[in-house]
Structure 1
Amino acid sequence: MTLDRLAPTIFVLLWSTGWVAAKYATLFADPLTFLAMRYAVAAVLFYFVCRVTGVSWPKGRTAIFHAIVSGMFLHGLYLGMLWWAIGQGVPASLSGIIAGLQPLMTGIAAAVLIGERLGASQRLGLLLGFAGIAIAVVPNLLTVDAGAIPVYAVVVNVLGMACVTAGTLYQKRFLKDGDLRAVAALQYVGALIVTVPAALMLENLRIVWGFGLFATLAWSVVGISMGAIALLLYLIRRGDVSKAASLIYLVPPLAAIEAAIIFGERLSLPMIVGTVIAVLGVYLTNRKVDRRRG
């Protein structure tokens, strides 16, 4: 199998573990503080990978600027807002619904802003993907006291989703060339520019040093920040951004399955049905179609 075929599956598997890692991370550090540590380690590791493998860095200040800005949106603002909102009381189920809006927004924005054409089956796939997410998580959301959810935190969560949409389009528009390892290193510099000041202003910088912290940090850096992100950047560069974004539909249901296995959380029938529908939506969005028939 080629990397083009394997990359989407591996990306979803790696990225979905971020929800589990986030749950563990709160035991050992404040959310933004942990993210700042994660980004710093990832930036350093990517830098050494670039040095050892002789990677050429982006040429010119403009290219470097674009890489840093994309990192501010894709990592710093998106994950920072998401983790902070969940820490303020936004249920994971509601956050999953909000995340499910991102592929739809990306598909619409890609068509309007960069002229990316979506066929009928791809449009149907995006809608089915969101429907699957809704079916999977709404039953859990209905058991939550709506009055206990801070409105400002929900707004921040939505803004985070908008930021990852903007970052994905920015990446596709301005970072068409250059080695992805060098781009990733610079993107984590951009993430730190956002995350460090936010952590200093909003948190107490709590860190509980120990094996648990280092184990969670190691997986978050190597498995997610390096492995999953490298694959996402590869997918954005190789294909349509709407196709890459549609993979996000598979993350919440898969994360629910992982939580059921690891934490013993209940896996309901709606979760199973919603996952099947989301998988169908992603298949329709990503399958090859005859562009002449649209």
Structure 2
Amino acid sequence: MTTSANSRLDAALLASMPVLFVALWSTGFIGAKFGLPHAEPFTFLFIRFVLTLALLIPLVKVMGGAWPGNWRLRGHIAVSGLLVHAAYLGGVFYGIYLGMPAGLTALLVGLQPLLTATLAGPLLGERITAIQWLGLALGLVGIAMVLGSKLDPGTASFQGFGLGALACVLVALAGITLGTLYQKRFCTGMPLLSGTVVQYLSAGVLLGLGALLLEERHIEWTATFVLTLGWLVLVLSIAAILLLMALIRRGEASRVASLFYLVPPVTALQAWWLFDERLPMTALVGMAVTIVGVVLAARGQARR
């Protein structure tokens, strides 16, 4: 193969990597939907983190990755892990466990860039631009359209899922938002791979305690559950992290960030195909409005 052909192949692979990353990332919500009928949320996540750490720790040694330099940084990374993994994934999994549709879950937690851009002002001293305020307004209008289409005025509850499920997903949104801000403020020197190990350790301990104290810890070791668990560990927790590392090294992280806006509609499409989850036209329009708002808010932050 000629040098020019190799260059074109490398360029094609590089161009496809951000799309592949987001496509894989969106399956996390689908994996929760497949696995949760067979295990309770905290139990499911605890097993996932234990298996992930069993693979990730040797991988750090093989790849020669550096560990966080001091205990203070490790402590900050552990706190970010409690927010980014324990609160976020725990909220997502419990919300889906309680009946929240996977597509709607992805949309709600997909507000994270919008909420992060808004809170960066008071928490990090960053100025909020007019574009960000417009994005926030559009995001709220879009979410109102989506949730309004599920609201039953007669019972003041949501069709197909309860307010508890909504509360869990809002906890997930708060966790990923505050975790992002905390990591940006206190974990700037975090090595990605070994730092992820520290995050998974702290999150695994908390989720393990949650499973011990709040759940029966019964697991149905069906083929569906085993395959789902394998996918979440190998593809989401390992392969996606390695792919992200490769993208960051190649300077493509910004493309990944922009493509994250496609996660909610991609998840909704997968959920429709696999589980026949349907959203009315009002909700679909609201999803589009919300995504536009998130894009405006994130781009307004990037241009400052």
- What's the TM-score bracket when you normalise by the shorter of the two chains? 0.7 to 0.9
- Judge which range, 136-145 or 162-171, deviates more: 136-145
Cα drift, residue 13 of structure 1: 2.7
Matched, 1:34 2:40: no
**Counterpart for residue 284 of structure 1:** 296
Q: 1:186 aligns with which of 193, 198, 204?
A: 198
Alignment of 1:235-246 (within 5 A): none
Q: 2:90 aligns with which of 74, 80, 83?
A: 80
Give the counterpart letter for 1:208 in structure 2. Answer: E
Cα drift, residue 10 of structure 1: 4.4
Cα drift, residue 137 of structure 1: 4.7
Matched, 1:260 2:264: no
Cα drift, residue 97 of structure 1: 6.7
TM-score (norm 2): 0.77
* Unpaired stretches in structure 2, ≥5 consecutive residues: 1-10
Note the alpha carbon deviations across 1:161-215, whole angstroms, 9 max, x for none. Answer: 2222221111111221242011111110011121000011111111111321221
Alignment of 1:84-163 (within 5 A): 84-88=94-98, 95=105, 98-99=108-109, 102-142=112-152, 145-147=155-157, 154-163=166-175
TM-score (norm 1): 0.79
Q: 1:214 aligns with which of 226, 232, 235?
A: 226
Give the counterpart letter for 1:20 in structure 2. Answer: I
Q: Are the aligned partners of 1:31 and 1:87 in contact in 2 as well (CA < 8 Å)?
A: yes
**Counterpart for residue 177 of structure 1:** 189
Work out which of the two has the higher radius of gyration on C-alpha atoms and give 1 or 2: 2
Q: Are the aligned partners of 1:93 and 1:138 in contact in 2 as well (CA < 8 Å)?
A: no
**Counterpart for residue 274 of structure 1:** 286
Note the alpha carbon deviations across 1:58-95, whole angstroms, 9 max, x for none. Answer: 11111221222211111112221332244345566775
Cα drift, residue 141 of structure 1: 4.1
**Counterpart for residue 21 of structure 1:** 31
**Counterpart for residue 72 of structure 2:** 62
- Judge which range, 41-50 or 259-268, deviates more: 259-268
- Judge which range, 121-130 or 160-169, deviates more: 121-130
Q: Distance in 1 between matches of 2:290 and 2:115?
A: 16
Cα drift, residue 46 of structure 1: 1.8
Give the counterpart letter for 2:35 in structure 1. Answer: A
Q: Distance in 2 between matches of 1:4 and 1:124?
A: 33
C-alpha spacing 1:157/1:178, structure 2 compared with 1 (3 Å): closer
- Judge which range, 192-201 or 124-133, deviates more: 124-133
- Judge which range, 149-158 or 71-80, deviates more: 149-158
RMSD: 3.8
C-alpha spacing 1:6/1:287, structure 2 compared with 1 (3 Å): farther
C-alpha spacing 1:147/1:276, structure 2 compared with 1 (3 Å): closer
SS in 2 for 1:26: helix
Matched length: 288
Q: Distance in 1 between matches of 2:103 and 2:137?
A: 19
Give the counterpart letter for 1:220 in structure 2. Answer: L
- Judge which range, 170-179 or 88-97, deviates more: 88-97
Q: Distance in 2 between matches of 1:111 and 1:4?
A: 34
Cα drift, residue 290 of structure 1: 9.4
Q: Are the aligned partners of 2:114 and 2:293 in contact in 1 as well (CA < 8 Å)?
A: no
Cα drift, residue 275 of structure 1: 3.9
**Counterpart for residue 205 of structure 1:** 217
Cα drift, residue 103 of structure 1: 3.7
C-alpha spacing 1:219/1:270, structure 2 compared with 1 (3 Å): farther
Give the counterpart letter for 1:64 in structure 2. Answer: R
